[in-house]
Structure 1
Amino acid sequence: MTESKLRVCIRKPTMEDCQELHSLIFRSKQFHFPWVIHAESSEHECKKYINRCQNNDVEGLVVCHLDTSKIIGVVNLSQIFYGNFQNAYLSYYVDVDFAGQALMSEGVHLVIDYAFNTLKLHRVEANIQPENKRSINLVKRLGFRKEGFSQRYLKINGEWRDHERWALTVENW
C-alpha cells in the first residue's frame, strides 16, 4: 500500500472526539451486532476510553478520512506486553456509513505498521468470532494467519462466544 493511494490516516483520540465517536457507535450499533461491545457508548464511557488510551498497555487510534478528517473507524491495540513477549491484541470497528469501502483495511494496515515500527512489537493477535466473515477477510488481506480456535473465549452481549485466533508477526509483515 503506497502512501499516495491512502485515503485515511490514524491518530490518537482526543476528548473533542467524544461526540463524533458516540454518533458513529449509535449509527452503527445494529451493523456491529453481535460482534462488538461498545464500551464508549455514552459520553462518560467515551471519556474513560480516551483516558485509558493514555496507559502504556493500550493504544487506541481513530481512523480518519483524509478528505474530510471525519472519523470512519477505531482500531485498538490492547494488553500490550513488552519484554520477551512484545505482543498486543487488535480490535477494530468501522462506521456503518463507510463499511465495504476498504477504508478500514487501510486504517488497520497503518496501525499494524505503527505497532511493528513505532511500538517495536513482535506480534499482533486478533480474536474474531468465526461467523464474522468481514473481519476475518480483513485480517487475511493483511497477512494474518489462523493459529487456533478458542471455545467460549469472550463474553459478548451476555454470551460466551467462540473465537478464531489470528496473528501476524513482524517477520511476516
Structure 2
Amino acid sequence: MHADHLIGVFNISEIVRGCFQSAYLGYYAFEPFANQGYMTQGLRLLVEHAFNTLKLHRLEANIRPENKASIKLVKKTGFQKEGYSPNYLYLDGAWRDHERWAIIARQK
C-alpha cells in the first residue's frame, strides 16, 4: 500500500434521508495508481461505510458508457446496472449519455 501517497478520491454526495436513504457516488484514481486494485479496495470500504456507518440504503453511480474501467470497478463491487440516461450530464461542452449503476444495502 502507498501510505504516504494519495492514490485517488471517493465522494458520497447529495445524501437524501427520510424514506429514500440514498446518495450519489463519485470517484477517480490518479494515473500512476490506476489498474492496481486500489480503487476496488477503496470502493468496497466506502460501500461498507455508507451502509454500516451512514446507514444508507442505496448508492448510485452514473457512468459514461465508454468508461469501461469504471464499469468494471462497480461490477466487481456488486453494483447492478439499472438503466441508461441519454443526455444526462453536460460535460466537455456537450450533453453526455450515462449508465445508471446502483448497489442496495443487504436486507436483514
Fold match, TM over 0.5?
yes
Match of 1:89 in 2: 24
Q: Runs of 4 or more off by more than 2 Å in structure 1?
A: none
Any idea what SS the aligned residue of 2:65 has?
coil
Same amino acid, percent of matched pairs: 56
1:59-82 alpha-carbon deviations (Å, 9 max, x no partner): xxxxxx3xx331100001111111
Match of 1:138 in 2: 73
TM-score w.r.t. length of structure 1: 0.60
Cα RMSD, aligned residues only? 1.1
TM-score w.r.t. length of structure 2: 0.95
Check if 1:79 corresponds to 2:20.
no
Q: CA deviation at 1:171?
A: 1.4
Q: Distance in 2 between matches of 1:117 and 1:76?
A: 16
Check if 1:152 corresponds to 2:97.
no
- Residue ranges of structure 2 left out of the alignment (5+ in a row): none
Q: What letter matches 1:158 in structure 2?
A: G
Based on CA coordinates, which of the two structures has the bigger radius of gyration? 1
Q: CA deviation at 1:108?
A: 1.1
Larger helix share, 1 or 2: 1
**Larger RCO, structure (CA 8 Å, separation 6 or more):** 2
Q: CA deviation at 1:93?
A: 0.2
Match of 1:47 in 2: none
Q: Distance in 1 between matches of 2:15 and 2:92?
A: 25
